[in-house]
Structure 1
């Protein structure tokens, strides 16, 4: 991972995505308590006491060159309200995934997720030049599946028995993607809806 990818700031009207660091841990420990997000059994949101290890793992993935991790700052309040990540960056195949995303419950359905994804996809398609951006979520995470669909992503399929969770439950993973050929229309629609939401 080069210094340039470690220092990426993505700035929007409502949110800023700033390089994740250990300095964000106290704010993330507070954000994750808004809605007790770790209690959603079908997500991978850390408990407050596990945020430090969660950040360390994200930074380790970044050091390996397969991820770029961000803290999400709400520009209205100035608070860190969640995090997100470019991950599973397959450079030989020119594709990546956007995931490890969670927000404090007060941010749900506020446009924060849509603008964060717009910033990430703009960077992925227009700076990194990828040919596909992928999204994955748990079969039972209906809120996430609906949010991904609203972004303009299309469902590619379901990976059955794809993962075994810490609880020993077999997870089916729903895979969505947006292709570079679809990006112009997806971007236009997202920008239009964000303007109307504002």
Structure 2
């Protein structure tokens, strides 16, 4: 399967969440979080705070999907019927059967509700079960303890820290990036069942 064969109409859902392809019109669906919760992007390399930044954020994501390097989703919380945030596959490498999962953010009302675990379960099942990936990688700012704890709780293994890895949004400061991953055999042997038990 080449990158061009990555399904372009992916919708993933269970009883709690629905993930569908991000669209330009989703600016309206995410604007409330964008305007009222700027702390959401404290550790993000691409900020989406405020309407102008959100428009830019979505346009960049859609361009990357056109270029077949990323696949961004909007996340809906089915219980409230509200849009919760966004997440995506990126650095999609079909020949190597590897992908990164990230650019994940949710409004404060949706954090700590179990929504993230449901999203990750659906995304990982799709990556390993449907796409046949061998490795799903996660990265974060090494100072972002909330994100790191969330990744560990779904079964990611820490591989190490890349020091002075990239500039932050405040370009005079560089960040250390922690790298975590789940391998295909880990998913099917233990991680899938463990994560499913937490849903």
Q: TM-score range by the shorter chain?
A: over 0.9
Evaluate the alpha carbon distance shift between residue 178 and residue 109 of structure 1 in structure 2; reply closer, same or farther with a 3 A threshold: same
Contact 1:34–1:106 (CA<8 Å) still a contact in 2? no
CA RMSD across the alignment = 1.6
- Which residue in 2 is equivalent to 1:103? 106
Distance 2:11 2:50 in 1: 25
Find 2:27's aligned residue among 18, 25, 28: 25
1:93 Cα offset (Å): 1.2
**Aligned position for 1:179:** 183
- 1:132 is matched with 135
Aligned to 2:44: 43
Q: What TM-score do you get using the length of structure 2 for normalisation? A: 0.92
Q: How many residues align?
A: 193
In 1, Cα distance between equivalents of 2:174 and 2:107: 27
Deviations 1:48-83 (A, max 9, x none): 221111011111111111111100001011111100
Say which of 170, 176, 184 aligns to 2:174: 170
Counterpart-to-counterpart distance in 1, 2:20 and 2:41:
26
Change (3 A) 1:38 1:146: closer
Aligned to 1:191: 196
Tell me which residue corresponds to 2:64.
61
- Cα contact 1:85–1:100 (8 A) shared by 2: yes
1:113 maps to 2:116: yes
> Does structure 1 residue 141 correspond to structure 2 residue 147?
no
Gap runs ≥5 in structure 1: none
TM-score normalised by length of structure 1: 0.92
| CA distance in 2 between partners of 1:180 and 1:12 (Å) | 22
Note closer, same or farther for the CA distance 1:94–1:39 as it changes in structure 2 (3 Å cut): closer
1:10 paired residue among 9, 12, 21: 12
